[in-house]
Each structure stands twice: as structure tokens, then as C-alpha cells.
Amino acid sequence: LAKTTQPISMDSYEGQEVNITCSHNNIATNDYITWYQQFPSQGPRFIIQGYKTKVTNEVASLFIPADRKSSTLSLPRVSLSDTAVYYCLVGGPDGGTYKYIFGTGTRLKVLA
């Protein structure tokens, strides 16, 4: 199972683009990469999911290089309400079961 690491924290200003990376050197063939946002005392909220290349939705983009050993979540034009902890989650089907591991989490602070 892929061990996943992220920067501990990041600061940004309102209106800037923020890129958060996740390293998963041992990612398996069947593993997907999913990013979540978590506010204090709440469950993680889905942001975006991908397998390879680039995925974009209305709130974020996800960049996954060809070797899939890392991924980058891109948040365009962040606002104060984007202050939260961001986790990557790596895993998927594994021989009739599922295996998942969360990244270490990145605490994003958006400043006015």
C-alpha cells in the first residue's frame, strides 16, 4: 500500500492559486487518488478524484504525472473559507477487498 506524504502546512492569500502535492511512491496499479477537505469537527468532504493525467471539476484540478508517484491538487483563487486541512487518499480494489491510506494532511491557511 502506498505510503503518502504531504507538506504539513501552507499559507496563501485570497485570490491566489494554491497547489498542494502528495507523494505516493508505492502506488499500486488499481489505486485511485482522491482529495478531501476537512474542517474542524467535520467529516472529510470530497473535492476531486483521478487515476492519471489531469482531471478538472468546478472547484479544483488534479494533476497526476505518468508514473503516478505523486499528485497535485490545484485550487484556483482561494478564499478565506478554503482554510482547512486537505488530505489525499490513495487506494482502491485489492483482490476482493479495498485498501486505502490517507496522506499526512496539509493545513492550508488563507490570509486576507
Residue 1, strand partner residues: none
Residue from 2, 91, 108, 110 touching other proteins (CB under 8 A): that is 91
Q: Which is nearer to other proteins, 41 or 81 (CB)?
A: 41
Binding mask 21-40 for other proteins (x = CB under 8 A): -----------x-x-x----
| DSSP at 58 | S
State the amino acid at position 58 in one-letter form: E
The sign of the torsion formed by the CA atoms of 32, 45, 6, 78 equals positive
x-or-dash string of contact with other proteins, 49-88, rule CB under 8 A: x-------------------------------------x-
Interface residue with other proteins among 29, 42, 67, 81 (CB under 8 A) is 42
- 34-65 burial string, b = 16+ CB within 10 Å, else e? bbbbbeeeeebeebbebeeeebeeeebbbbbe
- Does 3 bind other proteins (CB under 8 A)? Our answer is no
- Judged by beta carbon, residue 65 or residue 93, the one nearer other proteins is 93
